[in-house]
Amino acid sequence: MEPAGVEAEVLGVVSEHPTFFSTRPVITEQLVHIDLKDERIQDVLNRIIRAVKAEYPEAEFVSYIGTNPLGVYTEVYTPTQEFKGILDILDDKLGNLHVAAGVNIIIVPKKKVQAAAA
């Protein structure tokens, strides 16, 4: 591997300067780069959490990058099945959240699984 700054080949293009990716989502036919630490994505995820927690304070959240469709998935776990209620809370905001994050935001409401006592 060549030292950084000498010559770097990125996507078949040779450059004399190393190429750095920002944390902003980048989606092309050859490359997908989505950083969950990006401040825009974090802002959107925090807005989702605040909106859902206002109605369901016991809700828990897991976020990850998914591929079908490509985007940031946020699973929302509640003690009871609250699929419609959670989607109703976010219904009018999902389009704006997509634009704000620069990538698809997919909300997946789920019921918490109770562990059986041994």
- Helices and strands (DSSP H and E) totals, the chain: 3, 7
Average pLDDT of span 17-29? 57
Which residues are bridge partners to 72 per DSSP?
65, 105
Q: 30: burial class by Cβ within 10 Å (0-12, 13-18, 19+)?
A: exposed
pLDDT score recorded for residue 9? 46
- 49 and 55 in contact (C-beta within 8 Å)? no
Task: Report percent pLDDT > 70 for the chain.
Answer: 69
Across the chain, mean pLDDT equals: 77
Q: What is the CATH code of the structural domain delimited by 34-111?
A: 3.30.70
pTM for the full model? 0.68
pLDDT, tens digit, for every residue of 70-91?
A: 889 999 999 988 889 998 888 8
